[in-house]
Amino acid sequence: MAQVLEFKLPDLGEGLTEAEIVRWLVEVGDVVAIDQPVVEVETAKAMVEVPCPYGGVVTARFGEEGSELPVGAPLLTVAVGASASDGPAGTPGGQPGGASSIGSGTDSGPAGRASAASGNGSAEGSGNVLVGYGTSAPPERRRRVRRPAVTPAATAGTAGTPAATFAADAPVVETSRGEGPVPVISPLVRRLARENGLDLRDLTGSGPEGLILRADVEYALKAAAAQGRVAQPSAGPHPHVAEAAANAAPAVARVRSSATQGGVRVPLKGVRGAVADKLSRSRREIPDATCWVDADATELMRSRAAMNAAGGTKISLLALLARICTAALARFPELNSTVDLDNREIVRLEQVHLGFAAQTERGLVVPVVRDAQARDAEGLTAEFARLTEAGRAGTLTPAELTGGTFTLNNYGVFGVDGSTPIINHPEAAMLGVGRIIPKPWVHEGELAVRQVVQLSLTFDHRVCDGGTAGGFLRYVADCVEQPAVLLRTL
């Protein structure tokens, strides 16, 4: 007899709490093998394929392409021990409990492997949750929420239902005003409404596909309060607030309408949302300061041209600047550190995991070159090229986008001279490099046209004072002006 198992969006690691469905890789009725990728999702870090730990027949999918799901929400259901001809979830098309090519174990294909994994009727999977994050066998006993069987016709209707309606472990607010779940993801939104006696069914969500956001609840409460009908929030429900909120719904609509007049709302999600959150946190927590200096990069450019003229791998300018950064960090290790606020400690790091800003169609990403201090110019050039290409293709993994200890930001590619960048939290510093352009410069006592670049260093003032930051930046400038300085320190 087929057993229907529910596969939920797994924990994607790195503190990620949600993902957007980019493309489904299977259809309802398809036979999937254990660990076969079933959906492509985009997180705040990267685009990844999610494998299903069960093998069998796909009976239902939850969420449309373009919708967001929280971690723990159902992705799909799989009937283990049933053939594709049985129909989804044991619906007519096969006899429940009858023998099938999967249940008999005679099929050596993916479905057969799914049956083998299920053993004697016990539905077991591989335990895999995401490639690169290890495996863990499911617990022997686990509480399962039984859902009604889903037919293909019902699945078509489900595809249009907001993904939020299937949020795991989030109780549905039951009311007498309608049937079905309320499109709410956040437990905080539910609690806010519950504590104020607000009926969520009276609200029209402003999120994707009608998703009710915290702002919608706050709008309703403020609008009702403006009419003198809502009391202040308390630990218990207010029996008359639901009626007041319902009467305030037109006011809520007016407020939202006026707020959107003359503009277009763009959701802060995915990479853009992650960047916004990280930059905001950096500004809140890090007391940063910036110093800058102009440097004559003529000799550095000549050295690079000579290295490339000798044949072999072409060395990028970014690789040379990265080599200078790692040498400078060896002399000023205070800037390769992080601040532990819980223990009020500065943690100086031994390895330099160098992040570099890369602009892609998906937005700004910061891939990380691991152990940059151990790589030469050729190795750095190759790694920069690989990570940049992966960033443009949207295939960077979360591990390649996290764990940086220092960032190199070459904003000169945008045609600007200087900048005061925001530190990539929780790092302690970022070196910015402007465009290299011909400028009049006093060289050896005479005015000449030289290739000049502006260098800026934004640093966390908690980890060091201006003297250390100035010494670091001055050393970098000296290496840019006279590359032989770098050779003497290696």
Catalytic residue ranges? 461
Token pair listed for 42: 């985009």
Amino acid at 445: G
Q: Mark residue 105 as left, alpha or beta (left: phi above 0; alpha: psi -120 to 50; beta: remaining).
A: left
CA 458 to chain centre: 25
Instruction: List, in order, residues 6 or more apart from 465 with CB less than 8 Å away.
Output: none
CB 428 within 8 A of CB 288: no
Residue 160, judged by CB atoms within 10 A of its CB (0-12, 13-18, 19+), counts as: exposed
Token pair listed for 408: 């190199």
CA 294 to chain centre: 36
List the end-to-end C-alpha distance of the chain, in Å, as a whole number. 69
CB 301 within 8 A of CB 436: yes
Token pair listed for 369: 């070159």
Q: Identify the CA nearest to 4 among candidates 157, 166, 165, 150.
A: 150
Q: Mark residue 389 as left, alpha or beta (left: phi above 0; alpha: psi -120 to 50; beta: remaining).
A: alpha
Q: Identify the CA nearest to 443 among candidates 249, 299, 282.
A: 299
CB 440 within 8 A of CB 447: yes
Sign of the dihedral defined by the CA atoms of residues 187, 189, 192, 198, in that order: negative
User: Which residues in 312-350 are b (16+ Cβ under 10 Å) and which e?
Assistant: eeebbbbbbbbbbbbbbbeebebbbbbbeeeeeeeeeee
For β-strands 56-61 and 3-8, DSSP reports them as unpaired
CB 312 within 8 A of CB 301: no
Instruction: List, in order, residues 6 or more apart from 379 with CB less than 8 Å away.
Output: none
* Residue 431 φ/ψ, nearest 5 degrees: -100, 125
